[in-house]
Structure 1
Amino acid sequence: MTSVVDYDPLLLLRQSIASGSAIIPTTSPDTSSSSTSSPETSLSQATHLHFTHPARVVIPIDAPTRFVSNDRPVDLRSIYFAWLNREVAIPEYNASATKLNEELAGTTTVHKFAFVERLDLITWLEGASEESEYIKPLAGDKDGAVHLGGAGGAAAHAQVAKASATAVSAAARAGRGTLDPRLAQIYNGERRMGDRNTVLRGIKPTDFSHVRKLAQPLMARKPSPAGGVPTTSSVPGSISSSTSLALNQKPQRRPDPIILLSPSASSLLRMSNVKSFLEGAHYVPPDHNSAISMLHISRVMKDIDPGRPMRFILVEGSEQFKPEYWNRVVAVFTTGQAWQFKNYKWRDAAELFRHVLGIYLGWRGEQPPDAVRGFGHRVMACSVEKWRDPTAPGADSSRWRDREVVEGIWKAIEGNMRAKGWRKDAAPTKLD
């Protein structure tokens, strides 16, 4: 059996997904060719995952990974199970996880991801994101990056290449390898690459503390507080502890803001049509049979961060919310029905819309419901042209107003975000 010490389960899973190669749950730890003919087993019976790319290797299915939830590493079985159920709604995913835990009969349990954790994991595994706040960096990546590009990615690729060569040589010594001899020769001739420290800086650490002394004359003197007593940072030749920390700490990643939609069947905006409306500025009727439980859209908020698009997470329910997620909610779409708020942090509508912007979308020419009008100015009422059959003459001529409505909604969301404390590299820690 090939040693799996040099393999990273998360990186192997991501590369296998990108290449479309087979990932086989199995009860055998054997990596020989005969293992590929064994039937695929269920996740409740499997003890290993058989990867075929970039090298044939078998990883224990209960192996811990670099994905951390609640300060605990998540096992490979839970990661792979979440990937297999990436397209199902959260209630169906939780039901499937409960059923699998019953099949495991208490020997172990499958971790149930919170909706933000699940979205972050799936986005990273698909290759749509190169960073994740829940994934610890590789051992050779000191910058904390979890992507495949750059020096950290080179080290990760070198690690997998080293493991591939180890697998080839071990299989050759065992007399049961199936790789082409020419491919084995290529693996053995690969150049071993070091991490970013050995390539760029060597193994000796460099002390840059003298730079602080050089920077002191250039530090702008801060104004003295009331009373005329200068602060520590305003005295020439000294640097405050906060400045010292700022020189050494890496800025935290800005979290993604969250928009809540109404799950009501009477709502004009649902998960199936909100992306085309808020991103494409074109309204189409919702598909009530859609099983989409979450998605994200991108939008440049010029007054907050004009240099890069901001990613928004859209969901219809708050059942999987952690308490801190409410600090990231920037808008709530509502139809005025009170049952929508029963699982919210603020169940009273007046209290909810004191903290979060409310938005109602209705048909042009029709009055909003009495409940929405009772919310007052804290709920923004918008209206779109009534939907007409696309085959009817001139059906699309009335849809030019959609963009005007969408721009008004985004302007209100951006203004509310700025007022609540959203900045280029920061988000509010508490909604006032």
Structure 2
Amino acid sequence: MVSTDPLDLLRAAVVGQNDPALSTSNDAKDTVTDIAKAKFAIFRTATGPVSVPLDAATRFRASGQAANLRSIIFAWQRKDDAVQAYITEAQKLNDALAAPGNAGGSVQNLVFAERQDLQQWLQALQTESEYIVPPTGDAEADSSILMPSASGLAPGRMDERLQAIYAGERTMLDHDTMLHGSKAQDWSWVLDIADQYYGRSKAKPSEPAPSAGLNPSGPNAKKPARAMQPIILISPSATSLVRMTNAKLFLENGQFVPPNSAAAGSSAGASILHTQRLMPSFDAHRPLRFILVESIEHFKPDYWQRVVAVFTTGQTWQFKPYKWTTPQDLFAHVLGVYVGWAGEPPQAEVRSWGHSVKVVSVDKWSPTQGTASRWRDREVVEQIWTAIEESMKRKGWTKDGPGTV
């Protein structure tokens, strides 16, 4: 018998290049192309069509919650979208689903890492996923999944012998697939080392070979310059919505949690954090690595040219130990970022600083809902990163550092 698990059915369809049909009923005659109108996905299998409600929960856990089949199919359909485009299309679909005459319900917004992992798994490029819960061996198939049988439409169950075969199945992978991960990594430091040990040993034709009396590795030898990592200063104010405890989660995953909550405790006590962001303006292939710090106690004078953004609450005492002690001087050199609650206007001081401070707002935190409905956070983070990238371009940044254009 064919597995009736929604994820297994979709994976088989993707691998076989036989996408499921979308339908307004469990009958293939009522197929539609608009996922906002569809209520069922119909998979073509060797034993006949299998109809699955699009609102059926799957084993894929997005932000800790089971994503429905509609969210999974939508994420696969938009697999080539950039982060911002995917978020925009997800919001459009949710608006369309809520319109009269459409299917209703909603799609869950998968973060970038979840989408990448899902795509790898659906294409059988990996056998396991940290976001997918293993199926229970003897669990009955979901009663909402309809399969043709001798007695009509009834819940299906996987044959135990076939299940044992699947349990021992191993997907054949080549060398490149085994080494390919789902998250972008910054390997620029490896290139620096390779250039130091191999690139310099290959003298250019126009350059004379070093004479025996000269030591190329001596004290006067020029060392290869390393890329200067941009710095983002986090506000030390206790009233700031973005602190060291939640800054990395917010900027890297687009997920806001209160800085004093248990969910933000992984970075508690850290004095320095790192995050990375792909900025096509500087390097379309390797992400830039950013340093997040709250205190400037160990700052060297040349570090200030690397500061690209300062998170602020509007309290000017924050700037007293800085190189530029007034808001006017500071934000003439560095982008300011103010994060407030949605529906609450920023302080008058922040408004008086004008366009030199990027003002954004996040939805108020609900302890009962948690992160389940916080799809807007990713959009806010994209606005912040876009402002930082534009500011860096105006300041003459390149992938190697500031003012090197």
TM-score by length of 2: 0.45
Higher relative contact order (CA 8 A, sep 6+): 2
